[in-house]
Every structure is written in structure tokens, then in C-alpha cells.
A and B are shown apart, each in its own frame.
Chain A
Amino acid sequence: MAVVIAAARFWRQSRILGQAALLLLRRPGARGLAISHPHGQQEQFSSLDDKPQFPGASAEFIDKLEFIQPNVISGIPIYRVMDRQGQIINPSEDPHLPKEKVLKFYKSMTLLNTMDRILYESQRQGRISFYMTNYGEEGTHVGSAAALDNTDLVFGQYREAAVGAAYAAKRANANRVVICYFGEGAASEGDAHAGFNFAATLECPIIFFCRNNGYAISTPTSEQYRGDGIAARGPGYGILSIRVDGNDVFAVYNATKEARRRAVAENQPFLIEAMTYRIGHHSTSDDSSAYRSVDEVNYWDKQDHPISRLRHYLLSRGWWDEEQEKAWRKQSRKKVMEAFEQAERKPKPNPNLLFSDVYQEMPSQLRKQQESLARHLQTYGEHYPLEHFDK
């Protein structure tokens, strides 16, 4: 039957033949529609126009030509728990975290900030080669990490691999979630599209955490996308999505906690878009004054900083004060400096390690190269700074 219809259409010779075939299709027992629907529903198909049966979508017909307007003026709303002064807006959203936990948030964020300052400076002094700071985004890191279990897997990029790991965790009944962090720039890569689609179709317990900080190196979001950010893409893949205030550590915490609970319980992906601002340069190789105003940066630093907001919260509860702040700053600086100096004293890895772990076992070609380098260094070692390398 299908052959006849195909043949008829192919040569456009016999419309009668084609129409006759279509009529034949309607008989119960003939191939096509009649098979997939039970006999009782046959009345509904007196006109094939009543309800769409396309396998590709579940939707109604519309007889008005209308393009869906993307809404970028009034986009997906931003969930927050605290205002900029650290006051809880809606008490029912207060996570009611105990003092020690909130202090741990604060100390993690400020320790990170201290480490950033010291390491940025050390790069400027030539003591390390490269560094990327986290200024302004401490809330996204700490709030989300605090909501996870110790056994959960964290992928900092590698979106598709994160999905694979989540699938394996689901198969193993491991009770683990996988979280994958990426920026709004990385969300433009095909990797993100693949990751979202696979996570949704294969029902993986994964949280996609997008840090939307306004810039991908020098590229502002207006040049990165034209839709309503990253959160708006989630529903396109069938993924439950939320946009949160990334500078509000409690909002980040609440959203991640709930996403984790449901991802594991329901084996489905979640997308969290944390809105924030990159206060620092992209890296030590970047000078952002080349593409944005110092005023813009200062605004965010002064008016909406995750550390300040949490500090206001702590102060208003009497869980923190100026004296503790001074002492902690001193202590965290000391901690970072000690770790830094200890790391600086370590020699660089032994040159032999160039060849190991390429494969699990070292193939003979690599072993020969390793031996060749060893012989070379025996003869010409004086020309190399071997004293900086582990023996």
C-alpha cells in the first residue's frame, strides 16, 4: 500500500490512484492510522483536522498566523531571599540555617576573596604565571556547594561528561547528583546544547549551574545571546529551570538544595541560572577597563556584593562584629600566605612525569622517548634549570 502511494506521488501521474489509496487507508485493518487507534475512536477521525496526532508535539491547532514573541524585556524573574541590606524579604523562604553553617558560608567566601587578592598580587610580582579571581561571584560557588552532599560529583565545565556521569550514577542507584558549572559564554557552545538535550532525554540527575556574570572575557551578554538569558533555554529542552540572584547566597543555596533533592528523587535535570557580576578582570592577562567603565564595576562592588550582603545578615543577627572581622582577616591572610609559601617551596614535577599517565601503561615508544630525554639531560643537564625540578 505504501509503495503504491509513493509510486503515485513520485510520478504525479495518478491522483486518482493516490486518493483511492487514502480512502483504503481509512478502513479498519488497513495499514496506517486505523491500526494505531482502537475501533471505538474511529468516529473522531471523520475529519482528520480535529486533533493533531503528530508524533513530534502535543499541541492544539491554531488558525491565526502568529509568531511567538520572545520576552526579553520582562524575562524570567530572579529568585532572591535577602535584599541588598541582608534582610530576609519573605520569611517563609528563610532557610533558617544554624549560626555555624552561615558562618562557614561567610568564612569560605571571605577566605576565597583573600586568596584571590594574594594570588592576583603574586602573579603581578611574577611569582606565579597566571590567575583568575572570583570577585563578585563568591555567592554562587559557596551557596551551591553548600547544598550538595560530600559524595556528589562536581564538573567545572565538561557539560556532556557531567551528563554521562549522572547517567552512570542513576544506574548505580548511587544517590548522587552531578553538578556542572559553566558561564553564560560557555552556554553558547554546542557542548551545552548537547548536555541539556542528553540530560533531558536520558533522564539524568544533574544540575546545570550557569554563572551569568555579564561578560565572557570582553564579550557582553548582548553579544552572546539575544534571548532571555540561559534560564529561558531550559524549557526548550524540557528542563525545569530557575533564575536566581547569584549575589544572594541563601537564594543560591535554596535553589540548589531543592534542585538536588528533586534531581535525585525524580531522575531529571535542573537548570539554575545565577545572575551575578564579574567584578574582577577575566584573568591576569586581561585589563577590563578596555571594554567597560570603572564606574560600572564600582557600582557592583559597592552596591551588590555577595559578601557584603551576607555580612549585613550576620551583623543584624549579632553573629558577627568588627573585632571578629579584623581577627578573621588576619587569620585568613596568614592561612593563605603559609599555604602559598609551602607551595612555592615545592620543586616542579620530575621531567619523567611528562611521559606517564598518557596511557594507563607506558607504551614502548614513550618509554624510549623518556630514556632519550634522560640520556640527553645526563650530557647537557647543565643547560637546564634542573635544580627547580623534583629529583
Chain B
Amino acid sequence: MAAVASAARWLFSLRAAGAERHWRRLCGAGLARGFLHPTVTGEDAAQRRQVAHFTFQPDPEPREYGQTQKMNLFQSITSALDNSLAKDPTAVIFGEDVAFGGVFRCTVGLRDKYGKDRVFNTPLCEQGIVGFGIGIAVTGATAIAEIQFADYIFPAFDQIVNEAAKYRYRSGDLFNCGSLTIRSPWGCVGHGALYHSQSPEAFFAHCPGIKVVIPRSPFQAKGLLLSCIEDKNPCIFFEPKILYRAAVEQVPVESYNIPLSQAEVIQEGSDVTLVAWGTQVHVIREVASMAKEKLGVSCEIIDLRTIIPWDVDTVCKSKESIL
């Protein structure tokens, strides 16, 4: 058995080596040069970056929310969902593959803990997932829908923009689907290609009636997700998938809220304002320190957090203080 397995491993590695040779030939042909490798000479090989680069910067341990636990991003999501289902008996979680724990492990353990009528799979149909979620929310129950990848949110675009966003307005507040939250893994990972990498928040950024929220870290994610779930408007919560395992922080075990539509100035500066959200906050932190070091420029960094309705005042105040 072991011999067979190691034979298989050897055969696999042969194939991988063949692929690697083929790839090097391609690079040598100059196709990828300059695009993938910013420096061409041999001495800079160590500096060459072959994957999306950033370093996750954890925030200091929060003191005001009680006991904390080391959690990565997907664990902080699970914690938020656990808190929600514990305190709101009407809350349900549904989407593709959420029952066994989800393709990113965000819902692990919840079905066993809360029951199959509260954590369940749906058929493979995003417009159905969101439309169904709207219906649950209309009755006043809390609906937490998952879209497996933000790249797949487009079949649900009509339901989100034409139905969810307008439900309260078009009925003169007779009906609403405010207790709907849609969560979805978001953003690039380096190997996701066209349909596992997208950041579609811009498509929703001008749709009145919904809120769009993107966290930069586990602590932010749990507080913001809990706020989205409790918010009385339909919310979309995008989770930077590259941070699911890479971002680790101390996160409060109990429930807490981070307010929506409030940007956070995470670093003060006097020369220029940098605004970012999600993964890019960590990239831009690095940019700020490089600017300080190489150009002597003092950058103010703002994590926007909520894309719509966005915190105009914080960003404008930042501009004013710079001028």
C-alpha cells in the first residue's frame, strides 16, 4: 500500500517537474518577462515576486469586549455566525455547501449545533439563494445567505438591485427585507483566475437601498458582520478569501459591533490620504511606509470599511487637514 502510494507520488512529481520545465521555457521565451518578473537580472532573483504579495498586519488585541481568542478570518466569521444563531432564534444560514461547513470552513459545526432547519444547503442557483433570502427576511426572520464566490453574485444581481434594495422604498415601508445579509468570499488569491478572484463591490456601490461592507481583518470582520446581520437594511458582506487563513488576530469570543458607514483612520499623516478596503489595506500600509522611507512622504491611511453608504465626512476631513 505504502509502496503504491509512493509510486503514485513519484509519478505525480515527474509530471509536475515536466510542467515546471515547460513553464520555464515559456518564461525564457520572454512572454512573461517584465510582466511577472519586475527585475530581470539574476542577482535580483531573490526579490522576484511570483505571487500576490502583502503582509497581513494584525491590530493590537482589543480590550473592551471581554475575553479574546486567537482566530483566523474564517474562524472569526464562524464565531459571528455562532453568536447570531445563539441569540436570534429566527436566524438561518443557507447557500451552496454550507451544511458540511462550507468550502472555506466558515460554517463548520453550526449545523450540528443549531439543526438542519437552520443551517442548510440550497440548490446551485444564486438568484434563488438571494430571492429565497429576501422572502425569509420579508417575514421578519433573519436570513444569512452565502454566495460561494463573489464572482457568482451576478445571477443574483437582479434580485439584489431590483428587489432587495427597493423592497422598503417601493412599498412605502409597508414591507422590507432588512434582516437579509449576503456574505461572499471576495478578492484575488493569485491563482483564482477569472472566476475565483473578482472584487465586484463597484457594481453595487451606486445602488441605493443596500449596504456593502468589506473587512480587513478577523477582528473587523466579526464586528462588521454582526452589525450587518443586525442592521435593518439588506447588506452584502464581502470576505477577502486570501485572508481566511493568513490573517490571525485576537478576536473577542462574545458578540460585539463595529458600526457601519464609519471609515477608520488607521494611520495619521500630513501629506497625502490613502483610502483602501479589504486586503489592499495591508498593501497600502506597506506603501505608506515605503513612501515615508524613500520619499519622505507622510501618508494618512483610511480603511473605508463600508463602501455604500460610505463615510464621506471622514475622508473629506482627512483631505481638509492635509490642505
Binding site for B on A (CB under 8 A): 3-4, 7, 11, 153, 155, 158-169, 171-172, 190-191, 193-195, 197-198, 201-202, 353, 356-361, 363-366
Residues of B within 8 A of A3 (CB): 5, 8
30 A-B Cβ contacts within 8 A?
A7-B8, A7-B11, A7-B12, A153-B139, A158-B135, A160-B128, A160-B135, A161-B135, A163-B131, A163-B135, A164-B132, A164-B133, A164-B134, A164-B138, A165-B135, A168-B90, A168-B135, A169-B139, A171-B90, A171-B117, A195-B131, A197-B128, A198-B125, A201-B123, A353-B172, A358-B168, A360-B176, A360-B232, A363-B309, A365-B312
Contacts of B168 in A (CB 8 A): 357-360
Interface pair A360/B178, CB less than 8 Å apart: yes
**Bound: A358/B312 CA distance, A:** 18
Q: In the bound complex, do residue B143 and residue A164 qualify as a contact, i.e. CB atoms below 8 Å apart?
A: yes
| Total A-B Cβ pairs within 8 A | 125
**Inter-chain contacts of B209 with A (CB < 8 A):** 358-359
Report Cα–Cα, A11/B138, bound state, in Å. Answer: 54
* CB contact under 8 A between A194 and B92, given known A163-B135, A164-B136, A365-B312: no
**Nearest chain A residue, comparing its CB with the CB of B261:** A363
Within 8 A of A (CB), among B169-188: 169, 172-173, 176-178
A359→B233 contact, CB < 8 A: yes
Are B90 and A364 touching (Cβ within 8 A)? no
Judging by beta carbons under 8 Å apart, are B125 and A165 in contact?
Answer: no
Verify if B43 is at the interface (C-beta below 8 Å from A): no
From B309, which residue of chain A is reached at the shortest CB distance?
A363
Beta-carbon contact of B127 and A167 below 8 Å: no
Q: How many residues of B contact A (CB 8 A)?
A: 46
B159 at the interface (CB under 8 A from A): yes
- Chain B's closest residue to A165 (CB) is B135
Is the beta-carbon distance between B127 and A165 smaller than 8 angstroms?
A: no
Complex CA gap A202/B16 in Å reads 44
For the A-B complex with A158-B131, A161-B132 known, give 16 more contacts whose Cβ atoms are closer than 8 Å. A4-B5, A7-B8, A158-B135, A163-B132, A164-B135, A165-B139, A168-B135, A168-B136, A168-B141, A190-B155, A191-B131, A197-B128, A201-B123, A357-B172, A359-B211, A360-B176
Could you mark each residue 272-292 of chain B with 1 if its beta carbon is under 8 Å from any beta carbon of chain A, else 0? 000000000000000000000
**Bound: A161/B168 CA distance, A:** 14
**Residues of chain B within 8 A of A361, CB atoms compared:** 232
- Answer whether residue B208 sits at the interface, using C-beta atoms and an 8 A cutoff: yes
> Does residue B122 face the partner (Cβ distance < 8 Å to A)?
yes
CA distance A40 to B209 in the complex (A): 61
Cβ contact of B122, chosen from A166, A169, A201, cutoff 8 A: A201
Contacts of A191 in B (CB 8 A): 127, 131
Residues of A within 8 A of B172 (CB): 353, 357
What separation, in Å, do the CA atoms of A204 and B233 have in the docked complex?
Answer: 25
Q: Is the CB of B309 within 8 A of A202?
A: no
Residues of A within 8 A of B201 (CB): none
